[in-house]
């Protein structure tokens, strides 16, 4: 046990982690994701160019999962189909063919693409989820459309919860506006998840499982499931 | 509903609901629930009992189960001593 670890064991854990711990946690998370969730797009580490004159950690960067597709629910597709039916009954045969094709096509266009980035916040000392969404043609989705992709109970959670809410601000590395899940409650509920139990912090247990546990909560906002096998821990 | 020989599909799981932080403690905290039920049932039950829409619900292996997970799967993988311990906390004050 090195000096850093022994200090950690004495001081009660505050639910947060350092930038270099985030890098370790990110490596463990992306590796587990690849192993237990191979059908999903992978989480890739994107190293960031150094902004500062002073040398920063060479492990500075963020995790990126791009092009997760959210297909419109079958209910929506059915309402598309019922519109087709109405159209067919009121127009001539020639027009019918064209209109049907147009309506059907708009159903198939209803695939929303999501990019997710897990970025470390130095001020809150926790990971933050940034996301953006766009149609297949590249057009950005406005927030009220993103909301339709989220499970119903999530809307309630976002409105009422003091722990997760969505803001629209500049991505810390990409200088473009992205949406993010605000991190102010993160360290509190991360502390709860690990019971604030410093004994769990032996041998880097917390670091290794931090992002998996974090994602089990955050992923629910988008109904992104973690396979149970990925959540299994070796000890306790 | 308590048959002597229950087929696997009717297996009931003991769930122990544990208050954490400043969450109110339930009068009755141990329940039997069908293994084929989803975790959403536990969440909804807690919401109704505590009259709160937003709760933070998690299990001891440091994660918050997706509401679609089956109780029996959670119990098999993360149960301990014959029961599944489900912790809950209330939304904390903004700070």
Task: Count the residues in chain B.
Answer: 95
Q: What DSSP character marks residue A68?
A: E
Pairwise CB contact (< 8 Å): A192 & B89: yes
Strand runs (DSSP E) across B1-91, as ranges? 12-19, 30-34, 55-59, 83-90
Ramachandran category for residue A16: left, alpha or beta (phi over 0 → left; psi -120 to 50 → alpha): beta
- A80 belongs to the catalytic site: no
Set A107, A154, A184, A236: catalytic member: A184
CA nearest to B52 within chain A:
A160
Interface of A with B in 143-162 (CB under 8 A): 153, 156-157, 160-162
Exposure class string for B21-39: b at 16+ Cβ within 10 A, else e:
eebeebeeeebebbbeebb
pLDDT band, very low/low/confident/very high, at A81 (cuts 50, 70, 90): very low
| Residue numbers in A near B61 (CB within 8 A) | 231-233, 236
Q: In chain A, what percentage of residues exceed pLDDT 70? A: 64
The stretch A88-116 carries a mean pLDDT of 56
User: Lowest-pLDDT range, A94-98, A145-149, B61-65?
Assistant: A94-98
A50 has a pLDDT exceeding 80: no
Tell whether A213 is within 8 A of chain B (Cβ): yes
Identify the band that residue A9 occupies on the pLDDT scale cut at 50, 70 and 90.
Answer: low
Least confident range of A85-99, A129-143, B33-47, B69-83:
A85-99
Residue A222 dihedral angles phi and psi, to the nearest 5°:
-110, 10
Record: contact A161-B93, CB cut-off 8 A: no
Chain B residues with CB under 8 Å of A185 CB are: 92
Q: Could you report the predicted ipTM of this complex, rounded to two decimals?
A: 0.84
Q: Comparing A99-103, A159-163, B66-70, which segment has the lowest mean pLDDT?
A: A99-103
Q: What would the pLDDT profile of A180-208 be if each residue is shown by its tens digit? A: 988 888 998 898 888 745 555 566 788 88
Asked if B80 reaches chain A (Cβ–Cβ under 8 Å), the answer is no
Model confidence at B62: pLDDT above 90:
no
Mean pLDDT highest for which of A138-152, A214-228, B2-16?
Answer: A214-228
CB A77 within 8 A of CB A110: yes
């Amino acid at each position: 046990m090195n000096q850093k670890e022994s200090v950690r064991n004495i001081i009660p854990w505050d639910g947060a982690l350092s930038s270099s711990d985030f890098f370790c946690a990110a490596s463990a998370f992306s590796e587990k994701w690849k192993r237990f969730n191979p059908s999903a797009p992978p989480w890739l580490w994107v190293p960031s160019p150094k902004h500062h004159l002073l040398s920063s950690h060479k492990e500075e960067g963020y995790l990126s999962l791009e092009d997760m597709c959210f297909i419109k629910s079958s209910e929506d597709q059915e309402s598309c189909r019922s519109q087709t039916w109405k159209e067919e009954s009121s127009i001539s045969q020639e027009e019918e063919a064209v209109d049907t094709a147009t309506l059907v096509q708009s159903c198939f266009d209803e695939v929303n693409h999501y990019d997710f980035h897990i970025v470390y916040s130095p001020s809150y000392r926790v990971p933050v989820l940034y996301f953006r969404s766009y149609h297949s043609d590249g057009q950005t989705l406005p927030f009220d459309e993103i909301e339709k992709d989220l499970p119903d109970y999530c809307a309630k959670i976002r409105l009422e919860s003091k722990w997760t809410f969505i803001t629209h601000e500049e991505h810390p590395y990409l200088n473009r506006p992205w949406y993010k899940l605000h991190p102010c409650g993160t360290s509190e509920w991360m502390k709860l998840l690990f019971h604030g139990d410093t004994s769990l912090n032996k041998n880097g247990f917390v670091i290794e499982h931090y992002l998996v546990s974090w994602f089990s909560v955050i992923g629910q906002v988008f109904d992104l499931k973690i396979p149970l096998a990925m959540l299994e821990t070796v000890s306790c | 509903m308590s048959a002597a020989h229950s087929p696997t599909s009717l297996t009931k799981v003991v769930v122990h609901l544990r208050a954490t932080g400043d969450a109110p403690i339930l009068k009755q905290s141990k329940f039997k629930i069908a293994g084929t039920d989803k975790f959403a049932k536990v969440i909804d039950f807690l919401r109704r009992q505590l009259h709160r829409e937003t709760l933070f619900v998690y299990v001891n292996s440091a994660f918050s189960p997706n509401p679609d997970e089956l109780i029996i799967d959670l119990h098999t993988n993360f149960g301990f001593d014959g029961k599944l311990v489900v912790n809950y906390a209330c939304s904390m004050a903004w700070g």
